[in-house]
Amino acid sequence: MNKTGKTVEVYKARTELEAQVIKGLLESFGIPSYLKSHAAPSVHWFTIDGMAEVTVMVLDSMVEEARQLIQDSNEDELIEDNDQDNIIEGNSN
């Protein structure tokens, strides 16, 4: 991802696989993204208290479009209903 601007968190996934699905969704609509995690994916394939949590990041200029796309994907049942809370609102980093 070309870092020409500030990056912002748009989604917190419980697993790397879930994060890869969201990343693929965003990139298929032309929104570059990258994944940020504090755990090695090969070591932690599950989440205990957020240990293997993976954050999907996008450029600040594309945040609203990314959040809307994730929101719309929930309405189309691409992500589970309980994952709706994983969409990060606001401009936290």
- The residue segments making up the domain with residue 30 are 7-78
Overall number of domains in the chain: 1
pLDDT in tens, 50-75: 667 889 999 999 999 999 999 888 76
pLDDT score of 77 more than 80: no
In a domain, 33, yes or no: yes
Confirm whether 90 is domain-assigned. no
What is the model's pLDDT at position 23?
96
Residue 20 lies in a domain: yes
Cα–Cα distance for residue pair 80/91, rounded to 1 Å: 24
In a domain, 89, yes or no: no
- Are the CB atoms for 57 and 9 separated by under 8 Å? yes
CATH number of the domain at 35, please.
3.30.70.1530
